[in-house]
Amino acid sequence: MSLTSKQYHHGDLKAAVLDRAAEIIAADGLEALSLRGIARDLGVSHGAPNRHFKNKAELLANLAANGWHKITTATLEAAEAGAAQHPSARLNAMGRGFLSWALQNPSLFQTITHPDVGRHADSALRAAQEDFRATIRQAIEAAQGAGRHPDVNPSALVLYTNAVAFGAAMLLANPQLSPMADHRDLNSLINTVIDMAVPVNSNETTGHSS
Amino acid sequence: MSLTSKQYHHGDLKAAVLDRAAEIIAADGLEALSLRGIARDLGVSHGAPNRHFKNKAELLANLAANGWHKITTATLEAAEAGAAQHPSARLNAMGRGFLSWALQNPSLFQTITHPDVGRHADSALRAAQEDFRATIRQAIEAAQGAGRHPDVNPSALVLYTNAVAFGAAMLLANPQLSPMADHRDLNSLINTVIDMAVPVNSNETTGHSS
DNA sequence: GTCAAATGTAGACAACATCTACATAATGAC
DNA sequence: GTCATTATGTAGATGTTGTCTACATTTGAC
């Protein structure tokens, strides 16, 4: 069987469906996603995707679990940039990494934070969310242990820290909501906002000079 | 024609459709909303709502414009509680008013911040959004003028301040995303978070003692 | 009272998710 | 290697939805 011949079996339809779904969401948003449309794009019958996903919600849950893994990875990779320094520097770097990923993948970010996606979460998605939450929570607690807002209720500190990052990502990823008329230099905007929430001792080098 | 008799004309179908839509969203979320379902609930034919809304997006835009007006009003009413004091106290009060409204109307809050709703915004919705934005921006600028982070880039300060409020609202309104395992006292949580973002001179009375 | 505009109805259509029965291919026991 | 089992893909059916069109009823301006 040649690589170009039309085969009865696709080979890896599940992965192809997930890839195409991500493309569609990135291009036209969640509302443009349909199982039949994906099947058409991939040249398979309209029922084929259902062999791999019980329903549309399960496809979205798969996609979202994947997205949470990606944003967790991106955040942890950024953490290395600040890991050798103070826990606050590490947390600061994580915030920037998180925001950068969200702004480079706005539609996927909106998907993983979409209420109707979370509503139908399966165990894999819940685990991915919890993994992300635990990662962030630990970094926040480490920073608090090292002197960041030592007197604030830990739950409130976790909420505040997450709120700055998620809120900024949500506002910037959604042009309709952006409260600022202009934002010419996105990077310096991100750095300023993160630095307000997670100040880093100015004696130390933070790696971002804008 | 008696009040109970079935009339050919509904009387105020447009308002009834909007009300019922808000109920459905509050009860079962945006994905549960359908024009035909609303028509059934109201005892009119399936095409009747289309006489008042060009399409589903226009209904949502109407609903969202209404929601923005409500959250703007709620925020401004809260502002009065801190208006006599420092501009930062006013901004702090607005943050609490905003968050309280969002948590009392989580589904409507999710609707007005929903990307697919904003995507199809009409001029009324855009105006309502801009009205909200302007209200918040002015309060932030007033606080900055009165000494809140005087050296920070104003755009970044606007983003940061909005991010705390929107982010906390989004995280708390969406149980799936809440980063804290426990939040027994929601009010004190809100107050703590807002106070972190918008500190109020502790010499002054802020009106919230938790 | 007449007539145009506003509002509601009923039927049609295409797209969709999902289900079922069936067809084909891949896999593994023997 | 054969063959049964399983995985995967197909084709058609069903019910729901948004939207359109033709038509019916009511309202209101004059």
Query: pLDDT of B34-48, one tens digit each?
Result: 999 999 999 999 999
Task: Give the CA-to-C1' distance from A8 to C25 in angstroms.
Answer: 7
**Of A201-205, B120-124, B204-208, which has the strongest mean pLDDT?**
B120-124
What gap in Å lies between CA B172 and CA B169, rounded to an integer? 5
Judge: B156–A193 Cβ closer than 8 Å, yes or no: yes
Nearest CA in chain B to A109: B115
pLDDT of residue A207: 46
User: Closest residue to C8 by CA to C1' distance?
Assistant: B48
Mutation site for B-interface testing, chosen from A25, A176, A183 by largest number of B Cβ within 10 Å: A176
What gap in Å lies between CA B166 and CA A176, rounded to an integer? 14
B186 secondary structure, DSSP code:
H
> pLDDT confidence of B118, banded at 50, 70, 90?
very high
At B37, the amino acid letter reads G
Radius of gyration of chain A (CA): 20
- Out of A167, A181, A188, the one facing B166 most closely (by C-beta) is A167
- Token pair listed for B176: 């799936």
Task: Give the CA-to-C1' distance from B50 to D29 in angstroms.
Answer: 25
Mean pLDDT of B188-197: 96
pLDDT of residue B2: 35
Segments of chain A scoring below 50 in pLDDT = 1-5, 203-207, 209-210
pLDDT of residue B6: 58
pLDDT of residue B183: 77
pLDDT of residue A93: 97
What is the pTM (predicted TM-score) of this model?
Answer: 0.91
- Out of B155, B166, B192, the one facing A152 most closely (by C-beta) is B192
Exposed, middle or buried: residue B206 (CB in 10 Å: 0-12, 13-18, 19+)? buried
8 Å CB contact between A192 and B158: no
User: Maximum Cα–Cα distance for chain A, whole Å?
Assistant: 68
What gap in Å lies between CA B127 and CA A98, rounded to an integer? 31
At B118, the amino acid letter reads G
pLDDT of residue A7: 73
8 Å CB contact between A69 and A62: no
Judge: B156–A31 Cβ closer than 8 Å, yes or no: no
pLDDT of residue B7: 73
> pLDDT confidence of B60, banded at 50, 70, 90?
very high
pLDDT at B10 over 80: no
Judge: A160–B172 Cβ closer than 8 Å, yes or no: no
pLDDT of residue B205: 45
